[in-house]
Structure 1
Amino acid sequence: MSVKKIGLLVGREWSFPPAFIEEVNSRDAGVVAEYVKLGGTRMNEPCDYAVLIDRISHEIPYYRTYLKNAMLQGAYCINNPFWWSADDKFFGASLITRMGIPSPKTIVLPMKSYPEGVISESLRNLNYPLDWEAIVAYTGLPAILKDAWGGGWKNVYKVSTIDELIRAYDETGTLCMILQEFIEFEQFVRCICVGQTNIMPIKYDPKHRRYIVEHDHLTPELGAKIVDYARRINQVNGYDMNSIEFAIRDGVPYAIDFMNPAPDMDINSITPHYFEWAVKAMADFAIEMAYNPRPQRNEQRWSGFVE
């Protein structure tokens, strides 16, 4: 029986990649994990990997393009590059609200600035100036201004007045931003998600950005609801690797950030306890997908051209 390969695409993170590779390679499961090395990809180039784990293509567009071809060749990609390319936080908020999952009131805003070559005639469909009074009447204040496509706490502003909102908005350049109702929470949970349905809900302190190892932080009923919401969000978005944040107000868990397809898995962030869980859970899932992949390509209309 030939050895199946799992390839890892990573950035500067230093703890998860080697731990994952060591975990997979120590199991003697007929599977070997390694870092992917690329130097240009031919069209329809065969892919040697049964599974590819993507933790960096949001920053390196070439990797995203490579993964799409690899998926065409039969590789199982974590996460599906076609899903990831299409997501944004505004659509996600609309979608999960349609699903009956609580989400803060969210509004998407026109960009503050535009690339060179975009002139005023190109923007004839936009109302200007923005009606800031109407905008904050919908979301309320304080509110959170953040990148509709980004993650990792980058380009995130908490604003308490219209003046603060305008100042923050003026700093966002060509980013497409959303403004979101701020949930005054009593509890905060960040879930690490593997394989869509394997959910670890962790107590999280957003002010100090730290995970807290405390296993009884949720009642059984609330814990079950959060896990159910997280599974449904992953399944509708097709994410096999994700983190989802819930802000709990008056016993209601609001999904405030749930599109993080390359979630933080650093040992210093998630603590050694949850790091060990994440490494083993990802190894379990990747090995399973190497032998029994889900019909990932069938979600794409070009699947009929693949044998």
Structure 2
Amino acid sequence: MPLTVEKIIGVMDPNGYSFRVAFEKLIEFLDPQIKVGDTTFRVRTRRIISRPYNVLGAQTSCAAVINRGLHWNPHHNYFFQMVAHQTYLLNDMLSFTSIKKNPSYGQMYELGLHIPRTWALPPRDYGSILKEPNVDPDLIFPEHESFDLSEIGEKVGYPAFLKPQDGGGWEGVVKVNDAEELHAAYERSGERPMNLQEAIDYREFVRTVGIGPQMLPMHYNATAKYSHDRYLRS
């Protein structure tokens, strides 16, 4: 007896005008129907929205989730880590551990990739932690070593970029051209651990778009306002 089954692709994209709407319209236009034996699978899309959920026994009805922003939203992130075994995650959350820069740099360096000279710096300000009445600073910082920031700047070289050890989107990134600018930028960096990284005079900015084992290197225009204009296929 013929059977029709609906499969839902969840779409998580904070940039609604760059990808989400286009993907939804494409699926609506194509109306894909995949036949396997006596079963016909019809594909539909559903936007991932923020809502409360029961942690015990959490489930998703999505057969697959296309993620273009989950890593920025901890509420969604934790949910899909819980249900990762129930669905296919395209851009799964575990891949976004690479947004923590230094483990990625270290692993790539061990694999023989060329990484710009990079020094990790502790936070300039521990203010909010030290002000906690129930926290003993000696338990958190049993040893605190002074360091010469100018010396590290000379080892990295100028120009360089002072940037947070995690995150993306150029948030908190400052270009420094000498020791004076480095000290000023570090003084303003607040409570985030920072990296000082050598600036590279590059000819091509390339990013790789991947789904599973399929990889497509693409030229990347970092100055474009919208993300769909940044990836240039040539």
Q: 1:189 and 2:205 equivalent?
A: yes
The question of whether the paired residues in 1 share the 8 Å contact of 2:10 and 2:65 is answered with: yes
Question: Hey, what does 1:54 align to over in structure 2?
Answer: 67
Are the structure 2 counterparts of residues 52 and 62 from structure 1 closer, same or farther at C-alpha, using a change threshold of 3 Å? same
Structure 2 equivalent of residue 10 of structure 1: 13
2:121–2:193 Cα contact (<8 Å) kept: yes
Alpha-carbon contact 1:44-1:69 (below 8 Å) kept: no
Q: Does 1:24 align with 2:24?
A: no
Q: 1:96 to 1:59 in 2, by over 3 A?
A: same
Shift, 1:57, TM fit: 2.9
Q: What SS does the aligned partner of 1:77 have?
A: strand
Q: Give the deviation of 1:58 after TM superposition.
A: 3.2
What secondary structure does 1:14 align onto? helix
Is 1:107 the counterpart of 2:110? The answer is: no
CA distance in 1, matches of 2:100, 2:163: 11
Shift of 1:119: 5.8
- State the alpha-carbon separation in 1 of the partners of residues 92 and 111 from structure 2: 22
Computing the radius of gyration over CA atoms, which structure comes out larger, 1 or 2? Answer: 2
**Cα RMSD for the two superposed structures:** 2.5
| In 2, Cα distance between equivalents of 1:82 and 1:189 | 25
Q: Which runs of 5+ in 2 are unaligned?
A: 33-41
Distance 1:109 1:13, change over 3 A: farther
1:167 equivalent to 2:181? Answer: no
Q: Please state whether the residue corresponding to 2:150 is helix, strand or coil.
A: helix
Letter in 1 for 2:46: E
SS of residue in 1 equivalent to 2:169: coil
The alpha-carbon distance between structure 1 residues 152 and 87, as it changes in their structure 2 partners (threshold 3 A), is: closer
Aligned AA (1:160)? N
- Superposition misfits of 4+ residues, deviation over 6 angstroms: none
Once the 2 structures are TM-superposed, how far is the Cα of residue 120 of structure 1 from its aligned partner?
Answer: 4.2
Q: Matched residue of 1:188: which SS?
A: coil
Structure 1 stretches of 5 or more lacking a match? 211-263, 278-307
Q: Does 1:266 align with 2:230?
A: no
Q: Do structure 1's residue 81 and structure 2's residue 93 form an aligned pair?
A: yes
Pair 1:65-2:81 in alignment: no
* Deviation of 1:145 (Å): 1.0
CA drift of 1:167 comes to: 0.9
State the distance in 2 between where 1:87 and 1:151 align.
7
Name the aligned partner's letter for residue 125 of structure 2: S
Deviation at 1:5, TM superposition (A): 0.8
* Contact 2:207-2:218 within 8 A present in 1 as well: yes
**Closer, same or farther in 2 for the Cα pair 1:198/1:25, shift >3 Å?**
farther
1:13–1:266 contact (8 Å) kept in structure 2 = no
Give, in whole Å, the separation in 2 of the partners of 1:9 and 1:48: 14
Contact 1:16–1:265 at 8 Å: present in 2 too? no
Which one-letter code corresponds to 2:230 in the other structure?
I
Letter in 2 for 1:106: T
Q: CA deviation at 1:62?
A: 0.7
SS for the counterpart of 1:163 is helix
Amino acid paired to 1:190: V
